[in-house]
Chain A
């Protein structure tokens, strides 16, 4: 059956059918109405299908949205600067706004900002939207933005993005709706950086964040750390597009099975971050589906370049050939991943270097490289932990491949508790777990620059550092892409970080929930779904 409308069918007819459906006409009523108008049964059916689909794309107002996240504790916070995980992100996205918003496909949209302009990527002028108010009625002014951005520099705040905010050497109000940000060095990514969750705008002088007094789509009705939060539709929201639901409740169910069961029993409309194992179960139930997002987070194997065995020539290269990426992607991650090529920029990022191919699994080549490095026959310890998602399984895949060529890997599984303190960045070979970040500059500065705080393999290359600073200040996107492409090759070849796959975030949702789109900042629309989704009966 064709989905083309019959000849002479106009948009007005589409509207008439949709209107009839909205008023509660059944399929049979409509077909009768159409046949009376001379439309054949087959064609009539296709008209109704089209109308049904169009209706599904039209937001519906009302309903109580209930969503379960993965982690919640007494440390839950509504202070954007301290926001640490998906639970905090989800809540602050509902209660506050950022200056900019990173939408589908990595396109930048203005949120509280009306425009952000610069001529040299160093001095930026931010114009704010007019008529935006906080939940307590106070209008948004440049003083709020100055306060919100400068907070990150105060060590007593304990901001998660203090390092990133440090480059903003001066943030000052020009007039009530204009802010000028001066950076220490040119950085063309500033608008994208301002789209990070921690840079949500709070009211000037706020000290108690438990009230969640932002400009966001929902006002805080209840916030109990470790228990739940309830938001009510903000009647004075500055965006005319949302929110669609009347209330939004969010809580964490840390047990994955319980989270999926709560969805399937209809208690919640979305369960975030489900295990790849549960995908089949969810899809097999009528009225439920999964939504996947490739944001580019990964679990990687880090070999320090400054200590044995990473210092031995050929060892790291051998390891790169011994990691069976396909098996990790298919068996460990159940296909919910893209194969990685040992550098942190994922295919979801516009700056991804598609020409850089991942190394193929080649045990023979690895064997000869290990022989050259003089490690064949010795036992090499690898630290894995549940703290780094799937790292234990990945280590076992590597261990098996090693056993086939006479290489012994001593996989030491250590507790999650204290892992990031005691093993990561410390042990000669250990696993890391990196959350997605929106720009190559953030990833490279954080992970691969010579002075990077999380330089997982102690990779140091002055040429790389120079390229990083050069690309950062460029407003010419094509030139930037070229430099970032080359830097990806350098990291892939020379760093000691093996990135076998970029993981996909999987959220499970009820068929009644609509409007969810993939987002480069993570699952559930970069955690900002609450104001964009709507519920149907």
Chain B
């Protein structure tokens, strides 16, 4: 068992290094293709040729872009993420607090959405074809189809503007107690749970239905195993592989793909930081964010594979 996990992790680590390099190169090329640079963007309409030249010099943007990229990569090996072009602050400092914010939001959302998805997905599979299954299916497909800005804005209108139950904005720095934490996170987490749980519920249900139709489950049933034992002991471990993979995909989205939720609730996370970075052509910042998303994604998929191996007796 341990040997297969170790070889998987070792292989993944090598692949991660190569992937990160390719991603950073792709981000560099894509950012270079965008019109304008940090100096012209910051000056906006005031970008007269001499003003641009002055600012470029002040920001050390007058060196060739490729050279700056190579320096950035070299700095990365020393653990230095570089300095932001736009405000001259260390990228690590810019990202630091906001990455923690993003992780908090992703963590709380995971805590709510994963058990919810598992329970709803498994029960829907067990009671396949019943009214319960149909209601769950109808709601999940409905939620997948509604864009999150609609969910978020509607939730704000109902719970904040009309009922005054919850704040419309998520002030991340005003959390000093559990009650405040729940109040601040309530709406973003509800919105994100709607988005990610729906996918996971569908995948869980499909995987479980497939397993419940296999011969060994029928065998277990004939041996007289209880219903819960059949589901939890026999079917679930085998279904876990695809379920955990679907979860890894959904959760990796929580790290970098929640720009809309961050914008609507004014939550200072890392997704909005990266979009700002792109808008100001702040290459070190964009690169660093891309690296973090990439690493997050790779960690989650690796974890999913490990869980699948550990859960499945045939792979152990």
Question: CA–CA, A82 to B88, complex, Å?
Answer: 13
Kindly list 17 other residue pairs between chains A and B, CB separation below 8 angstroms, not including A224-B97, A257-B153, A422-B35: A74-B86, A74-B280, A75-B41, A75-B276, A156-B54, A158-B51, A158-B58, A162-B54, A225-B94, A226-B273, A227-B98, A254-B263, A261-B161, A265-B161, A267-B167, A267-B169, A268-B169
Interfacial chain A residues near B167, Cβ < 8 Å? 265, 267
Q: CB-nearest residue of chain B relative to A257?
A: B153
Mark out the residues of chain A between 254 and 280 whose CB falls within 8 Å of any chain B CB in the assembled complex. Answer: 254-255, 257-258, 261-262, 264-268
The stretch that binds A, out of B190-198, B226-234, B264-272, B290-298, is B264-272
Interfacial chain A residues near B161, Cβ < 8 Å? 261, 264-265
Q: Interface 1/0s, chain B 34-45, versus A by CB < 8 A?
A: 111001111111
**Contacting pair B265 A155 (CB below 8 A):** no
Residues on B lying within 8 angstroms of A by beta carbon are 34-36, 39-48, 50-51, 53-55, 57-59, 84, 86-87, 89, 94, 97-98, 153, 156-157, 160-161, 164, 167-169, 171, 173, 263-266, 268, 272-273, 276-277, 279-280, 282, 285
| Cβ-based interface call for A84 (8 A) | yes
Question: CA–CA, A203 to B140, complex, Å?
Answer: 59
Q: CB-nearest residue of chain A relative to B97?
A: A224
| 10 cross-chain CB contacts under 8 A | A155-B50, A155-B58, A258-B168, A262-B266, A265-B164, A267-B168, A417-B34, A417-B35, A420-B44, A454-B45
Least distance between A479 CB and chain B CB atoms (Å): 32
Question: CA–CA, A226 to B54, complex, Å?
Answer: 24
Interfacial chain B residues near A228, Cβ < 8 Å? 173, 268
Least distance between A271 CB and chain B CB atoms (Å): 11
Contact partner, A258, options B44, B45, B153, B277, Cβ 8 Å:
B153
Question: CA–CA, A163 to B285, complex, Å?
Answer: 31
| A74 and B54 contact, Cβ closer than 8 Å, known pairs A258-B156, A265-B164, A417-B34 | no
| A258 and B265 contact, Cβ closer than 8 Å, known pairs A265-B168, A418-B36, A420-B44 | yes
Least distance between B81 CB and chain A CB atoms (Å): 13
Interfacial chain A residues near B279, Cβ < 8 Å? 73, 417
Question: CA–CA, A421 to B48, complex, Å?
Answer: 10
Chain A count of residues within 8 A CB distance of the other chain: 44
**Contacting pair A225 B89 (CB below 8 A):** yes
Interfacial chain A residues near B168, Cβ < 8 Å? 258, 261-262, 264-265, 267
Least distance between B262 CB and chain A CB atoms (Å): 10
Mark out the residues of chain A between 148 and 179 whose CB falls within 8 Å of any chain B CB in the assembled complex. Answer: 155-158, 160, 162-163
| Cβ-based interface call for A315 (8 A) | no
Interfacial chain B residues near A454, Cβ < 8 Å? 45
Interfacial chain A residues near B58, Cβ < 8 Å? 155-158
**Contacting pair A421 B280 (CB below 8 A):** no
| Cβ-based interface call for A350 (8 A) | no
**Contacting pair A253 B50 (CB below 8 A):** no
Question: CA–CA, A404 to B191, complex, Å?
Answer: 48
Interfacial chain B residues near A252, Cβ < 8 Å? 266
Question: CA–CA, A433 to B51, complex, Å?
Answer: 20
**Contacting pair A73 B86 (CB below 8 A):** yes
Interfacial chain A residues near B48, Cβ < 8 Å? 163, 453
| Cβ-based interface call for A76 (8 A) | yes
Interfacial chain A residues near B266, Cβ < 8 Å? 68, 251-253, 258, 262
Interfacial chain B residues near A68, Cβ < 8 Å? 266
**Contacting pair A265 B160 (CB below 8 A):** yes
Interfacial chain A residues near B89, Cβ < 8 Å? 210, 225
Question: CA–CA, A261 to B58, complex, Å?
Answer: 40
Residues on A lying within 8 angstroms of B by beta carbon are 68, 73-77, 82, 84, 155-158, 160, 162-163, 210, 224-228, 251-255, 257-258, 261-262, 264-268, 417-418, 420-422, 424, 433, 453-454
Q: CB-nearest residue of chain B relative to A253?
A: B266
Contact partner, B86, options A75, A210, A265, Cβ 8 Å:
A75
**Contacting pair A261 B157 (CB below 8 A):** yes
Least distance between B245 CB and chain A CB atoms (Å): 33
Least distance between B271 CB and chain A CB atoms (Å): 12
Interfacial chain A residues near B171, Cβ < 8 Å? 267
Question: CA–CA, A420 to B98, complex, Å?
Answer: 31
Q: CB-nearest residue of chain B relative to A77?
A: B87
Contact partner, B94, options A74, A84, A155, A158, Cβ 8 Å:
A74
**Contacting pair B160 A75 (CB below 8 A):** no
Question: CA–CA, A454 to B54, complex, Å?
Answer: 18
**Contacting pair B268 A226 (CB below 8 A):** yes
Least distance between B169 CB and chain A CB atoms (Å): 5
Question: CA–CA, A257 to B98, complex, Å?
Answer: 24
Question: CA–CA, A128 to B46, complex, Å?
Answer: 31
Interfacial chain A residues near B40, Cβ < 8 Å? 421
Least distance between A250 CB and chain B CB atoms (Å): 12
Interfacial chain A residues near B273, Cβ < 8 Å? 74, 226
Interfacial chain B residues near A226, Cβ < 8 Å? 268, 272-273, 276
Question: CA–CA, A420 to B45, complex, Å?
Answer: 6
Question: CA–CA, A413 to B39, complex, Å?
Answer: 25
Contact partner, A261, options B47, B57, B153, Cβ 8 Å:
B153
Least distance between B190 CB and chain A CB atoms (Å): 15
* From A74, A224, A253, A262, residue with most partner B Cβ within 10 Å: A74
| A255 and B280 contact, Cβ closer than 8 Å, known pairs A155-B57, A421-B36 | no
Least distance between B269 CB and chain A CB atoms (Å): 10
Interfacial chain A residues near B50, Cβ < 8 Å? 155
Question: CA–CA, A378 to B55, complex, Å?
Answer: 43
| A74 and B282 contact, Cβ closer than 8 Å, known pairs A226-B276, A262-B168, A266-B164 | yes
**Contacting pair B264 A255 (CB below 8 A):** yes
Interfacial chain A residues near B84, Cβ < 8 Å? 74
Question: CA–CA, A257 to B153, complex, Å?
Answer: 8
Interfacial chain A residues near B35, Cβ < 8 Å? 417-418, 421-422
**Contacting pair A424 B57 (CB below 8 A):** no
Least distance between A197 CB and chain B CB atoms (Å): 13
Contact partner, B268, options A227, A267, A421, Cβ 8 Å:
A227
| A73 and B156 contact, Cβ closer than 8 Å, known pairs A258-B264, A262-B169 | no
**Contacting pair A155 B54 (CB below 8 A):** yes
Interfacial chain A residues near B98, Cβ < 8 Å? 227
Question: CA–CA, A158 to B40, complex, Å?
Answer: 11
Least distance between A339 CB and chain B CB atoms (Å): 24
Interfacial chain B residues near A253, Cβ < 8 Å? 169, 263, 266
Contact partner, A420, options B47, B97, B160, B268, Cβ 8 Å:
B47
Question: CA–CA, A110 to B285, complex, Å?
Answer: 42
Contact partner, A82, options B42, B57, B169, B276, Cβ 8 Å:
B42
Least distance between B97 CB and chain A CB atoms (Å): 7
| A424 and B55 contact, Cβ closer than 8 Å, known pairs A77-B87, A264-B161 | no
